[in-house]
Amino acid sequence: MVMIFRLCHADLMDWFLGEDADEQRGHKVGGIYVEVLSPKGIRLWTAYNPDTELLGVELYVKYYGGRTEALECALCQNTTEPVDGKFMFEHPNLVARFGDVLQYTVITYDGATTMRHAVRRMFVREELIKPNDRCVCPGRELPGALRSPPSAEVDLLERMILRALGNRSRDCDSISNWLVLRAEPRNEQADLLEYVRTYLDLLLLRAKWRTLDAGGSGWTSVRPSALVVEVEDHAEGIAFQVRSTIEKLKMLDLMSFSGVIEDFDGVL
């Protein structure tokens, strides 16, 4: 008599490898989703697995333009309770920026055994970056003159004047050539001038990335870093002076999407 056993592919592999499928269920991890918040903060989550009693993460940030190896764990947490059907991790003060590399390891515990999963890495790309203190929902409708990109410096000046008037300010004659960067160095001993220059060049890369399908950012002059002539401490971050008011207007117009560049005068 011949006996026929019906085995699915997964059962056959488990039998061949000598593994119990039930023992692996608590270590299964779905897709990992990351949001890098601007100017600081990070969220990381994955779908809740009821067979996983504890899920942990060890995340390191490798800085762009700085040291290549992260020396401290930037986000080391574990959780046992789901939030809205997710294992959720969050750090409000972690600073990761465009061009940095996130390196992280997931740890799972199924009630009996602990598993460290393979190391994963990802670049901080534009689509990962979200503002953490501003509404990203559609705002009030702007006049057509403010929506269309400026084609010349005269158009840009007119656009900024309209914006100033829309903000109920008539002090356009007092517009300076100063801006504010709403960010601070991760290293307290950093050179503020060099820090601002590097940050602005990264913002230009982000702007080009965002407008790649439209043919680029439209920035044709020198690097933004070459326009910065002076920096000083500011209550909201770092104030910096550029060569001229028109360069300030160009920079503000191009980089306002980031949420970290603001008008020093509070007019625009």
For strands 101-109 and 120-123, give the pairing.
antiparallel
Q: 59 and 75 in contact (C-beta within 8 Å)?
A: yes
Q: How far apart are CA 34 and CA 266, in angstroms?
A: 33
Domains of the chain (ranges, CATH numbers): 32-131 (2.60.40.2140), 176-210+223-267 (no CATH)
More confident residue, 150 or 56: 56
Q: How far apart are CA 208 and CA 217, in angstroms?
A: 5
152-162 pLDDT tens trace: 555 656 666 66
C-beta neighbour count of 90 within 10 angstroms? 15
189-225 pLDDT tens trace: 778 999 899 889 888 888 777 665 545 555 656 788 9
Taking CA atoms, 196 is separated from 68, 228, 237, 255, in Å, by 20, 8, 10, 13
Which pTM was predicted? 0.55
Query: Considering the chain, what is the average pLDDT of its residues?
Result: 76
Find the mean pLDDT for residues 226-242.
91
Q: 124 and 96 in contact (C-beta within 8 Å)?
A: yes
